[in-house]
């Protein structure tokens, strides 16, 4: 009998993998990895490790979830050490809970290795703390992706009225609906909102607006997924502490000077 490690690879910056997560990559016989995993992490795999891409594009699932479940059970039953490498944290909208349940039902040993979630890391790299003593004392993680054919079960009223900061995953395609719901339930239309595209990577791009203006701004800037949406007064802090993108600009200028 083999063993499966369900590992969070972090939000994109290769240096944000945990020590234990890196060990799981190094010892794996098989690595099943997702689309948003930084491919540089695969360079730490053993030379003879089998690398299996199981990523799913939005609305174009390359490998359905049931197939992933089958592969996890199949490789483990062959006696192999399997690392299931997922972007961010496996239990934050990563379907890691479903995969762990399948392994438990099959009596296959497994461990879960948490990863740094994009809902915290992307805003941090954009200079936005999700909590701040003066600007936000509550924080919620929300999905912005509604399953096709299913009613929206998100309590937008509660989120609008009771939570200071919202980190919304997979919501760019439903941005207009999200902003409309929050304003419908009396969230101030002037509430700051940020969209962070490819957070923590060299491609990171951040745009800022309000609930009232962000849809048009995002359209003009052609912001796509993967992007985090951050709603709340904490977005105001970006003006002072947007450290990562400033560092990127400084490094670019230094490179130009050296050339």
pLDDT in tens, 67-99: 999 999 999 999 999 999 999 999 999 999 999
Q: Is 34 a catalytic residue?
A: yes
pLDDT in tens, 235-254: 999 999 999 987 876 776 66
Question: Predicted confidence band at 1 (pLDDT cuts at 50, 70, 90)?
Answer: confident
Q: Which of 34, 86, 89, 237 is catalytic?
A: 34
Q: Which of 56, 80, 157, 205 is catalytic?
A: 56
Q: What's residue 245's pLDDT? A: 84
Does the bond joining 131 to the residue before it have cis omega, within 30 degrees of 0? no
Average pLDDT rounded to a whole number, residues 159-173: 96
In sign, the C-alpha dihedral spanning 4, 6, 12, 13 is negative
Phi, psi (rounded to 5 degrees) for 251: -65, -40
Percent of the chain topping pLDDT 70? 92
Q: Which of 13, 29, 86, 170 is catalytic?
A: 170
Q: What's residue 64's pLDDT? A: 83
Q: What's residue 259's pLDDT? A: 61
Average pLDDT rounded to a whole number, residues 218-231: 97
pTM of the shown model: 0.91
Residue with structure tokens 């990895």? Answer: 33
Question: Predicted confidence band at 29 (pLDDT cuts at 50, 70, 90)?
Answer: very high
- Nearest 5 degrees, angle CA 34-CA 245-CA 7? 25
Q: Is 164 a catalytic residue?
A: no
Q: Are 245 and 126 in contact (CB under 8 A)?
A: yes
The beta strands (E) that lie in the chain are given as: 3-8, 30-33, 50-53, 81-86, 110-113, 139-143, 165-169, 192-197, 205-210, 227-231
Q: Is 56 a catalytic residue?
A: yes
Q: Is residue 258 scored above 70 in pLDDT?
A: no
Q: What's residue 58's pLDDT? A: 60
């Amino acid at each position: 009998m083999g063993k499966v490690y369900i590992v969070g690879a972090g939000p994109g910056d290769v240096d944000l993998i945990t020590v234990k997560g890196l060990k799981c990559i190094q010892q794996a016989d098989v690595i099943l990895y997702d689309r948003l995993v930084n491919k540089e992490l695969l360079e730490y795999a053993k030379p003879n490790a089998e690398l299996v891409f199981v990523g799913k594009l939005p609305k174009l699932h390359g490998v359905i979830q049931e197939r992933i479940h089958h592969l996890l059970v199949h490789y483990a039953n062959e006696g192999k050490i399997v690392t299931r490498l997922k972007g961010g944290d496996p239990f934050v909208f990563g379907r890691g809970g479903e995969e762990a349940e399948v392994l438990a039902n099959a009596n296959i040993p497994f461990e879960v290795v948490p990863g740094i979630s994009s809902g915290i890391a992307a805003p941090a790299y954009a200079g936005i703390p999700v909590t701040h003593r003066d600007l936000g004392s509550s924080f919620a993680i929300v999905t912005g992706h509604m399953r096709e054919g299913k009613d929206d079960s998100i309590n937008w009223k509660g989120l609008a009225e009771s939570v200071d900061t919202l980190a919304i995953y997979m919501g760019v395609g439903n941005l207009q609906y999200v902003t409309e719901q929050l304003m419908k339930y009396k969230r101030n239309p002037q509430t700051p909102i940020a969209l962070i595209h490819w957070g923590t990577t060299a491609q990171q791009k951040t745009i800022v607006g309000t609930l009232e203006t962000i849809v048009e701004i995002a359209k003009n800037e052609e912001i796509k997924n993967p992007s985090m949406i951050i709603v709340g007064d904490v977005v105001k802090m970006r003006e002072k502490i947007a450290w990562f993108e400033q560092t990127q600009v400084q490094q670019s200028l230094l490179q130009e000077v050296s050339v």
